[in-house]
Amino acid sequence: MADADTKTLKLAKRLDDIPPYLFQRIDDMKAAAKAKGIEVISLGIGDPDLPTPDEFVEELHKYAQMNAMQKYPAYKGIPELHKAIADFYHRRFGIDLNPGSETLALIGSKEGIANLGLAVLDPGDIVLVPDPGYPVYAMLSVFNSCDKHFVPLLRENDFLIDFSAIPDEVCERAKLLFMNYPNNPTSAVAPLEFFDEAVAWAKKWGVVIAHDNPYSQIYQSDDPPPSILNAKGAMDVAIEFNTLSKTFNMTGWRIGMAVGNPEVIQALGRVKSNIDSGVFLPIQHVAVKALGKPLSYCDGLRSEYADRRKAVEEVLETGGYEVYHGKGTFYTWVRVPEGYTSFEFVSAVINETGIVVGPGSGWGPSGEGFFRICLTRPTAELRGLVQKIVDKFPVK
């Protein structure tokens, strides 16, 4: 108990505006179920069940033993990594990047996304947030004393942004727009024509587009999804975030990249140089090896996720559930049965079956009425788990 001569510690008021992080809420629900003696199996968080390839683990071991690799890394990333990023973008998207000014190494793309606000936003600006969307996008408004405007992603638009629906008064104040295709959580894929429209809109209003593209190699469409940098004039207004997390099952390694408009890349690099000391050098060398793999290296991974998606969708639709047939990511986006909110349904599923799925409203107001299944279990196991949900919660 404090005496009369002491003052109560005061924390930042912005913390009052930060809701519990979605995945922390899911972890709390899992912990509560386990406390009741329920065996919990998670399909709620996008962490691949498949291991990091052995050759990358061995590469890490090799470099980690070198004394020179245990020092502070360069802030921007080693030159070999910048070249590997540029080479990958050339082979995958046909895009020519300047490794010296149009690429940046990140400690996972989440870090880069969060720090981007410090490089772009001023108090009073508006950040445009896809809804539903990755929760970190919306948090930039809190950390940078600006406003957010949710941009609904609707089923009738295949979860693509309708730029004509954004009010002019919002566009006037907007400084930054986040996009993410292939999309988390809906699994929607955007065509190049959509990115052309986005870039034209951004140029009209002077808005930076940050395209989050961690699922660039996780798709089930016939044609590989484009990068926003494939759009005409994109380098004038856009940067793209990417990562090795999903492509190479390296979520815990924390290695990613930003590419695109050199002015924004430089600004983000200036922020980072005052905040962190870069990625552990051995991990950067592993990234060089991974990015240098032929594009066919991911064929088996895509095939595995395609099999899992097909199995899950078959079980759900046979049970009468409404499924969105997305062509990207390793998520399935499903309509909640009538009579439940998203969180009510997810809570009931955990308590009745021990299976964790993600509540759509956790990704934004427009996610209400949906839930997300992560395809992060083997096909046969996934089929059985989803069948258990369908049996326990039949669609009326």
**Residue 331: which CATH number?**
3.90.1150.10
Average pLDDT estimate for 261-273: 97
- As a whole number of angstroms, the distance between CA 217 and CA 48 comes to 14
Residues 354 and 275 in one domain: no
pLDDT band at 2 (very low <50, low <70, confident <90, very high): low
Average pLDDT estimate for 255-259: 98
- Residue 134 confidence (pLDDT) above 60: yes
16-23 CB contacts, 8 Å cutoff, 24+ apart: 17/142, 18/139, 18/142, 21/135, 22/135, 22/358, 22/362, 22/363
Give the closest residue to 237 by CA, choosing from 194, 203, 287, 188.
Answer: 203
Average pLDDT estimate for 243-260: 97
5 domain-assigned: no
pLDDT of res. 26: 78
Chain center to CA of 88: 20
Tokens of 303: 């095939």
* Residue percentage of the chain with pLDDT more than 70: 98
- Tell me how many domains the chain contains: 2
Calculate the alpha carbon distances from 293 to 88, 298, 299 in Å.
9, 9, 12
Average pLDDT estimate for 342-362: 94
Residues 237 and 166 in one domain: yes
- Residue 119 confidence (pLDDT) above 60: yes
- Residue 1 confidence (pLDDT) above 60: no
* Residue percentage of the chain with pLDDT more than 90: 88
Domain interval for residue 323: 18-47+298-392
Average pLDDT estimate for 252-260: 97
Residues 147 and 178 in one domain: yes
* 58-74: pLDDT as tens digits: 999 999 999 999 999 98
Residues 242 and 386 in one domain: no
**263, 293, 323 - which closes a domain:** 293
**Is the bond preceding 123 in cis, omega lying within 30 degrees of 0?**
no
- As a whole number of angstroms, the distance between CA 6 and CA 236 comes to 54
**271, 293, 315 - which closes a domain:** 293
Helix, strand, or coil here: 209? strand
pLDDT of res. 33: 85
Residues 238 and 266 in one domain: yes
- Residue 143 confidence (pLDDT) above 60: yes
Average pLDDT estimate for 388-393: 98
- As a whole number of angstroms, the distance between CA 160 and CA 188 comes to 8
> 358 near 372, Cβ under 8 Å?
yes
Average pLDDT estimate for 138-159: 96
Residues 66 and 141 in one domain: yes
Residues 224 and 169 in one domain: yes
Average pLDDT estimate for 23-35: 81
Degrees to nearest 5, angle at CA 226 with 221 and 228: 145
How would DSSP label each residue in 211-274? EE-TTTT-B-SSSPPPPGGGSTTGGGTEEEEEESTTTTT-GGG--EEEEE-HHHHHHHHHHHHT
pLDDT of res. 3: 62
pLDDT band at 27 (very low <50, low <70, confident <90, very high): confident
4 domain-assigned: no
Residues 315 and 361 in one domain: yes
242 domain-assigned: yes
What's the CATH code of the domain at 100?
A: 3.40.640.10
116 domain-assigned: yes
* 160-202: pLDDT as tens digits: 999 999 999 999 999 999 999 999 999 999 999 999 999 999 9
7 domain-assigned: no
Q: Name the amino acid, one letter, at 178.
A: F
Query: Buried b vs exposed e over 314-340: b needs ≥16 C-beta within 10 Å?
Result: ebbeebebebbebbbbbbbbbbbbeeb
Q: Which helix (H) or strand (E) holds 210?
A: strand 208-212
**Half-sphere exposure at residue 11, Cβ-oriented, CA atoms within 13 angstroms:** 5
Residues 372 and 238 in one domain: no
The whole-chain average pLDDT of the chain stands at: 95
pLDDT band at 272 (very low <50, low <70, confident <90, very high): very high
Alpha helices of 65-191 — where are they, by DSSP H? Answer: 79-93, 109-120, 135-143, 168-173
pLDDT of res. 32: 85
